Homo-oligomer: A and B are copies of this chain.
Amino acid sequence: MEPYDLSAAEASAAIADGSLTSETLVRSCLSRIAARDPVVKAWSYLDARQAIADARECDKEIATHGGPKTPLHGIPIGVKDIIDVEGMPTTFNSVFYQDHVPSRDAECVRVVRACGAVILGKTDTVEFASGGRKALTTHPMNTGHSPGGSSSGSAAAVGDHHVPVAFGTQTAGSLIRPASYNGIYALKPTHASVAWPGAGQYAPSLDTIGWYGRSVDDVAMMAAAYRLRGVDQAAPAAQTLTVGLCKTPYADRCEPATLEMLESAGKRLAAAGITVTEVEMPDGFVELSEMHRRVMFGEGMSHFLAEYLEQGEALSPDFVSRVVGGDVIPAEALREAYDAAAAGRRSLEAMFDGGPDVIMCPSATGEAPKGLTSTGDYVMNAFLTLLHVPLLAIPAASGPSGLPIGVQIVAPRFDEPRLIAAARRLAPLLAPDRI
């Protein structure tokens, strides 16, 4: 086992007990990247010299301080290339931003930097995390497949052991879906829990920053760094637990193997003593996908206006259509969408009253899609993003093509402690051998 194989939590423990240095870990990650990235293409920018220098600085601080100042001290992190890191280009995978080097870290980067993390580099993304050009990234387990998107590079980098944790973002399904495809963990916190400034915005009522890791502890460590309400990194797994299995209103979009995975997961949990029930979402939820589209495109109109005014028709038709084309959402339709979302939030949370502790759904419709032209269907994620609830992706099975399939668990808004405690109990039962 190489240092690059360690999860963030394992690496953190090793740094704390003195058996690992940040420099050793960073060099190991860089060697893995050197060996693998010519094929995986997860990284859009990497400065090995700077990363090693930063790691050495961390090691000095850790020695002086008598130990790491936080669990993230010395841990390398990948940053999706719509998020600013001082001195590294933020290209948004757009031809118009190839030379754009921000002078300041995004707020979310400042938080991990203050915690002592090492920013390893930038990871490839779908253009503006929303449309246009796809990332060059391939699926680490089968280069003929997409790793998903838009957090393509971050998911592949964590899945392929280039880096233990990485930032992703989700406006529809850009964080949770690639976690499923790559067999890794992801935490999408409650909307507006992590500060957005310094990241490229698309639809502010939806845009959420989250994290990939290779264990529940990894994403819990990030949640603790952001001081999400009530999150205690050392909190134990839930002792008693009721899980509501839910196919979502969009089960017809799932591959058969995905629904079998959910059923089989339920059986394994029940066999281990978890109370498992089947739950259905309210009838109206089948409309939420369309409501999500309206909010995303409606707010996207404001967010692509400056690009459109500057670039005109040189901008990808995907973005032009949000400003002046077929994707412009009329006022009445947009009001209806916001109100339906708000009603949906209350209905979803009512399901937890006297109901399950967490709801468990597929985190994608199936395995990673073939080819790189599609990053997959985000229907299992978009309506939940609209509802602002926190989501935690857990690997659960291997699909017909040998690629991972996962589940996402759902809790009420701002109840990340419940989500993490449940995930700690569920993950070993769902993914005993780290698919």
Contact = CB atoms under 8 A, between A and B. Distances in A.
Interface of A: 100-104, 107, 110-111, 114-115, 192-197, 200-201, 204-205, 226-227, 229-230, 299, 301-303, 305-306, 309-310, 323, 330-331, 334-335, 338-339, 342-343, 345-346, 349, 388, 412-415
B339 A305 contact: no
Given A100-B104, A331-B229, A413 B201 contact: no
Contact of A339 (B111, B114, B306, B342): B342
A68 B383 CA distance: 45
Q: Which of A101, A309, A339, A415 has the most CB of B within 10 A?
A: A309
Contacts of A226: 302, 305
Given A107-B303, A194-B302, 19 more contacts: A101-B103, A102-B104, A110-B309, A111-B305, A111-B309, A114-B310, A192-B302, A195-B201, A195-B303, A195-B305, A197-B201, A197-B303, A205-B205, A230-B331, A331-B413, A334-B413, A339-B342, A339-B346, A342-B342
Contacts of A339: 342, 345-346
A130 to B, nearest CB: 13
Contact of A306 (B114, B193, B342): B114
26 contacts: A101-B103, A102-B104, A107-B305, A110-B306, A110-B309, A110-B310, A114-B306, A192-B204, A192-B302, A193-B302, A194-B302, A195-B303, A196-B201, A196-B204, A197-B197, A197-B201, A227-B301, A331-B413, A331-B415, A334-B413, A335-B349, A339-B345, A339-B346, A342-B342, A342-B343, A342-B345
Contacts of A335: 349, 412-414
A338 B194 contact: no
Contact of A200 (B101, B197, B227, B230): B197
Given A192-B204, A192-B302, A303-B195, A227 B323 contact: yes
A412 B310 CA distance: 31
A335 B190 CA distance: 11
Nearest to A310: B114
Nearest to A301: B227
Nearest to A418: B331
A62 to B, nearest CB: 18
A302 B209 CA distance: 12
By Cβ-Cβ distance, the 9 closest A-B pairs, closest first, are A342-B342, A331-B414, A114-B309, A110-B306, A103-B103, A195-B302, A107-B306, A195-B303, A197-B201
A225 to B, nearest CB: 9
A197 B196 CA distance: 9
Residue in A100, A227, A302 with the greatest tally of chain B CB atoms within 10 Å: A302
Contact of A338 (B102, B110, B413): B413
Contacts of A330: 229
A274 B245 CA distance: 58
Contacts of A309: 110-111, 114-115
A334 B230 CA distance: 14
Nearest to A229: B331
A306 B195 contact: yes
A413 B346 CA distance: 21
A81 to B, nearest CB: 15
A415 B115 CA distance: 45
Contacts of A302: 192-195, 226
A377 B301 CA distance: 34
Nearest to A226: B305
A227 B104 contact: no
Most buried by B among A193, A303, A414: A414
Nearest to A323: B227
Contacts of A227: 301, 305, 323
